[in-house]
């Protein structure tokens, strides 16, 4: 699949549920209204859609949420997709999770073909962790991380950079990740969805963070890529990778290779735009068939925009987009 700007689309992020067992302040409102079950695709429908995308050239799929591992029987979907890894199919199947379910499911994930996961953990301070997640317990997420490592999964920690919340912790997090053989990626907060806080207060440019980190760490340039938007450095003192995802200070739209599928079958060609394609209707219409489903996806690719319009500014009282990150899949 080639978009109107000549970019090859080879990466599909799939939100398998909008539900989550945490309520992170930058992602969700505390009192969320979730989708009725009738609107959510079955796991079999998600599998069929993913198979169609693979047939059109998608080589990497990341399962997201909400929290993907709270969806009942999700391991069945993981196994089905994992069976597609190989020549002419997927090159990689990965998952982004908050870690709360990993003590139960890490071995199953590895057995299904997953080899690498991202775990969202914004702080090493238990009190700050509870404040950021509203409901979370740091120990539970850490237990999940170590269970994943024990199962053979490579683990990368994702931390959203939040001004005045965790900005004093990055040195500690780099050291901790080095001690435990983990990579770390820092992410700028994005203006998605109505939340109780003020994003102008939360927003911390990673250009500033990187400059501060260089006072204590040697960050070596690397051409390492995972297929996503992160720019990676090697931390010489630990030997681990440190990534930066900067949708605000330096957008990565010119190399965008991905689209996002929600659990309702809505395809967003860009995280930062409202334009979307409804794939649930053709998926559930027996008169359409596989050829019609492929055609609907190909037509959607023709509408993929050049880039997003994210901005965080005190003059902009509303978020750039009304939908929460949990709806589109982190």
- Residues belonging to the binding site for GTP are 13, 62, 96, 156, 258-260
Closest CA to 35 of 277, 299, 266: 266
For the beta carbon of residue 237, count every other beta carbon within 10 angstroms.
13
- 22 phi/psi in degrees, rounded to 5: -125, 175
- For the four alpha carbons of 147, 149, 154 and 159, in that order, the dihedral sign comes to positive
What CA–CA distance (Å, rounded) separates 4 from 120?
A: 33
Binding-site positions read: 13, 20, 24, 26-27, 62, 66, 96, 120, 156, 190, 253, 256, 258-260, 270
What kind and span of H or E run contains 63?
strand 60-64
Q: 259 near 12, Cβ under 8 Å? A: yes
Question: 90 in helix, strand or coil?
Answer: strand
Q: 301 near 294, Cβ under 8 Å? A: no
Binding-site positions for [4Fe-4S] cluster read: 20, 24, 27, 253, 256, 270
- Within 8 A by CB and 6+ apart from 302, the residues are 3, 4
- Within 8 A by CB and 6+ apart from 81, the residues are 47, 50, 61, 63, 90, 93, 112, 113
Binding-site positions for S-adenosyl-L-methionine read: 26, 66, 120, 190
Answer whether the bond into residue 66 is a cis peptide, omega within 30°: yes
């Amino acid at each position: 699949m080639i978009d109107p700007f000549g970019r090859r689309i080879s990466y599909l992020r799939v939100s398998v549920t909008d539900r989550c067992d945490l309520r992170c302040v930058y992602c969700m409102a505390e009192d969320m209204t979730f989708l009725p079950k009738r609107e959510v695709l079955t796991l079999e429908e998600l599998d069929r859609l993913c198979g169609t995308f693979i047939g059109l050239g998608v080589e990497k799929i990341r399962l997201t949420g909400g929290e993907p591992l709270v969806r009942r029987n999700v391991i069945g979907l993981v196994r089905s997709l994992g069976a597609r890894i190989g020549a002419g199919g997927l090159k990689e199947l990965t998952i982004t999770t908050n870690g709360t379910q990993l003590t139960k499911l890490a071995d199953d994930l590895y057995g299904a073909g997953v080899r690498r996961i991202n775990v969202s953990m914004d702080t090493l301070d238990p009190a700050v962790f509870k404040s950021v997640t509203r409901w979370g317990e740091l120990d539970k997420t850490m237990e999940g991380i170590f269970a994943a490592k024990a199962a053979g999964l490579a683990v990368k920690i994702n931390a959203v950079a939040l001004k005045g919340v965790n900005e004093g912790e990055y040195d500690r997090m780099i050291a901790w990740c080095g001690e435990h053989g983990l990579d770390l990626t820092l992410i700028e907060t994005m203006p998605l969805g109505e939340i109780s806080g003020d994003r102008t207060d939360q927003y911390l440019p990673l250009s500033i963070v990187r400059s501060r980190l260089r006072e204590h760490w040697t960050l070596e340039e690397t051409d390492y890529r995972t297929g996503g938007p992160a720019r990676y450095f090697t931390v010489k003192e630990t030997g681990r990778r440190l990534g930066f995802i900067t949708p605000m200070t330096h957008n990565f739209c010119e190399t965008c290779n991905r689209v996002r599928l929600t659990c309702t079958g809505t395809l967003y060609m860009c995280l930062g735009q409202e334009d979307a394609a409804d794939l649930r209707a053709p998926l559930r219409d027996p008169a359409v068939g596989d050829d019609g489903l492929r055609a609907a996806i190909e037509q959607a690719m023709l509408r993929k925009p050049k880039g997003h319009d994210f901005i965080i500014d005190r003059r902009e009282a509303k978020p750039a987009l009304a939908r929460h990150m949990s709806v589109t899949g982190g």
